[in-house]
Amino acid sequence: MDGFDFGDLVKLEHDLVKQAKIFEKGKHTKAFLRKESKKLKKLVLKNARSKVKERTGKLFEGIKAGKVYNYAPEKALAVRVYGGSPAYHIHLLEYGHRLVNKKGEEIGFVKGKYFFEDSANQFMDTYYDDIEKFIDEVLDKGL
């Protein structure tokens, strides 16, 4: 017989789709995303500590790993690491800001430290490796 029999390949595809739907928004995926956000938060803190030497309020307490949530446009789960309470000035350190005297005159500019952006770029390879391991685990457990 000439040609290929795609029957087994189609069955595998259906099994993979079924397994993906089970894990797509399940507890395993959420746990994986929480674990990854904690890793990223740790990296952001490390970079922030190395780049921001002067005391700037409660900067390090303000860096947080958020909760896993449904990201509507992509219809996917997402989680973020962000800066917020009690360090509302994180954006000033991240992107830079003007120096203004009491008269309102600009006397200079402080360059941004970009510790969030640099951390995200550094984390990409680790994240892709972790995703591959997670997918392998899912396939090993599920099929």
Structural domain contains residue 109: yes
Query: Which pair of tokens denotes residue 110?
Result: 């402080």
Whether 13 and 88 have beta carbons less than 8 Å apart is answered as no
CA nearest to 42, candidates 131, 115, 142, 133: 115
Query: Which pair of tokens denotes residue 95?
Result: 């992107």
The residue-averaged pLDDT of 43-63 equals 90
The residue-averaged pLDDT of 39-54 equals 93
Helices (H), the chain: 7-24, 27-51, 90-95, 115-142
The residue-averaged pLDDT of 92-116 equals 94
CA nearest to 143, candidates 13, 5, 10: 13
Could you tell me the residue range of the domain that residue 41 belongs to? 7-142
CA distance linking residue 96 with residue 108, whole number of Å: 11
CA distance linking residue 114 with residue 44, whole number of Å: 10
Give pLDDT tens digits for 66-90: 999 888 887 788 899 999 889 889 9
The residue-averaged pLDDT of 1-18 equals 67
The residue-averaged pLDDT of 33-62 equals 92
Structural domain contains residue 54: yes
Structural domain contains residue 1: no
Quick one: pLDDT at residue 13?
72
Domain tally for the chain? 1
Structural domain contains residue 2: no
Check whether 98 has a pLDDT greater than 90. yes
Task: pLDDT band for 1, please (50, 70, 90 cuts).
Answer: very low
The residue-averaged pLDDT of 2-14 equals 68
Check whether 26 has a pLDDT greater than 90. no
Q: Computed from CA positions of residues 59, 64, 70, 71, in that sequence, does the dihedral angle turn out positive or negative?
A: positive
